[in-house]
Amino acid sequence: MNPVYDYLIVGSGAGGGVTAYVLAAAGAKVLLLEAGKRFSGNTYPKDEMRAGAQLMWGGGTDMTTDAATVLLRGKVLGGGTVVNQALLDRFDNLAWADFKADSGVSFFDNAAMADHYDAVETHLALHTFHDRSRWNRNAALYVAGFEKAGYQWQPLRRGQGDCGHGNDCMMCLGGCPRDAKQSMAVTFIKEAEAHGLTVRTGFQAAQVVTGADFVTVFGHENGVPQSHYARHCILAAGALGSTELMLKSQWQRRLPALGQHFYCHPQWMSTAFMDEPVDAHKGAFQAVKSADPRFRQNRFKLENVFAGPVAMALLNHRQMGAAHQHYMRRYRHMMCIEVALRDQTPGQISLNRQGRLAVTKSLRQADLDNATKGRGVVAEIFAAVGAKETMASDIRVGLHLMGGARMGQQAATSVVNEGFQVHGMPRVYVADGSLFPNAPGINPSLSIMALAHRAAHSILAQTAGA
């Protein structure tokens, strides 16, 4: 029989990494399980195709049941923090107020969460792009369009150390080759290992079984059946991973809200072609953001984004042959803006007849109307900077996967209580984005870290001596 740990954590992303550090630093015996592999700066895949296949679930994408939305999530030590754009903003008062109104959770506000934000930020190198000399032309055009059209913007804050001269590699979505991006792999997990954390990669959890004295997690480690044991288990595998594991453990009968209230900030990219080269693939991957209260009121934001040639080619999937070649030959001339929606239509996470993950996520007319408003603003900005030709992609991408195990006060309407404990299961906790009761409309990574910091301290207080 394998050793019995004090705490076993499933998932190594923003929630799992921070939780592992706090528990290990407190002297606990902690095991962290990750389905993906461990990489470092010099071993991350060097191109988009291999990065998707090796660092993401589903070989690069998961799909909703209607194939209308592409869902992206990391399968690598460090989870989504390895394959995201490292944008680290705190939630505003509106996001927390909506969380509190939906859940009744008392600490969903900036005052209660401030110390937790402060604590996690001390472990991260943070950079705000005030210096325009570090912007690329895509960012400069974005800001010029905003200012000409009368919209408000702000510089972005990213979690990054030394990215080299001009942030010149644009490799963020495929793992950072310089280990500069502040992923869990180079921050909290690395620090936790210095405090004795045990990490097992290649372990895909399949079931959690609770007993009177300990919890067992069954699964396969690099294809071989394996079981791990702990006095307490923390699920931090993200909205899809944690919810799927609870469903496979057949907890839905006692937790009727399990799998409900799934959100994903649906996003659409639009491209404009400029007369002079933009070279959006060079310089800082993202440097500026929209900050207009009218956008927030209409539940969308505009992101200063770009992507590699494979992704940009896929956005224009309806053109073939010579037309598509003409489109891609102008890669250097592409300006790009993305509409990100604060969705209000909850989806559902379930298992199909074969026991596989199934995600149902549609959008109501109100969501589609808000997306249309956002895309109209994008067209206005493109026109303001003199773009003569534009292309609005119809591919819908969900990057921020949230909900499915929402926090609340009643077991009938939520999965997790204010102590981060699964209702009715005193040895099982959740510390990731699956806790969210709705969509915040702000990048969730930093707030997941802050909530995980609070969760870990709460768990330590609840389990002392247990």
Q: 416: closest CA among 15, 120, 119, 14?
A: 15
Rounded CA gap, 52 and 45, in Å?
A: 9
The pair phi, psi for residue 278, each rounded to 5°, is -100, -40
pLDDT digit string, tens, across residues 42-91: 999 988 889 999 999 998 889 999 999 999 999 999 999 999 989 999 99
Could you give the domains of the chain? 1-39+89-123+183-257+405-466 (3.50.50.60), 59-72+127-176+265-399 (3.30.410)
| Residue 415 Cα distances to 100, 246, 247, 253, 407, angstroms | 15, 10, 12, 12, 6
Is it the case that residue 20 has pLDDT exceeding 70? yes
Give me the pLDDT at residue 133, please: 87
Residue located via tokens 């589609």:
368
Q: Which residues, in sequence order, are CB contacts of 436 under 8 Å at separation 6+?
A: 99, 239, 263, 402, 403, 406, 407, 444
Res. 2 pLDDT band, cuts 50 70 90? confident
Handedness of CA 280, 281, 282, 284 (dihedral sign): positive
pLDDT digit string, tens, across residues 236-254: 999 999 999 999 999 999 9
Find the radius of gyration of the CA atoms of the chain: 22
Average pLDDT over the chain, rounded to an integer: 95
In single-letter form, the type of residue at position 229 comes to Y
Rounded CA gap, 38 and 40, in Å?
A: 7
Question: Which pair of tokens denotes residue 81?
Answer: 């923090």
The share of the chain scoring above pLDDT 90, in percent, equals: 91
Facing residues of 269 across strands? 338
Q: 138: closest CA among 270, 41, 237?
A: 270
Rounded CA gap, 371 and 366, in Å?
A: 9
When pLDDT is averaged across residues 98-119 and rounded to a whole number, the result is 97
pLDDT digit string, tens, across residues 197-228: 999 999 999 999 999 999 999 999 999 999 99
- Whether the full predicted model's pTM is greater than 0.95, yes or no, is yes
Give me the pLDDT at residue 65, please: 96
Angle, helices 14-25/445-463, rounded to nearest 10 degrees: 40
Give me the pLDDT at residue 74, please: 96
Q: Which residues, in sequence order, are CB contacts of 192 under 8 Å at separation 6+?
A: 17, 20, 21, 23, 24, 25, 30, 32
Res. 165 pLDDT band, cuts 50 70 90? low
Buried b / exposed e over 23-45, threshold 16 CB at 10 Å, is: bbbbebbbbbbbbbebbeeeebb
Res. 163 pLDDT band, cuts 50 70 90? confident
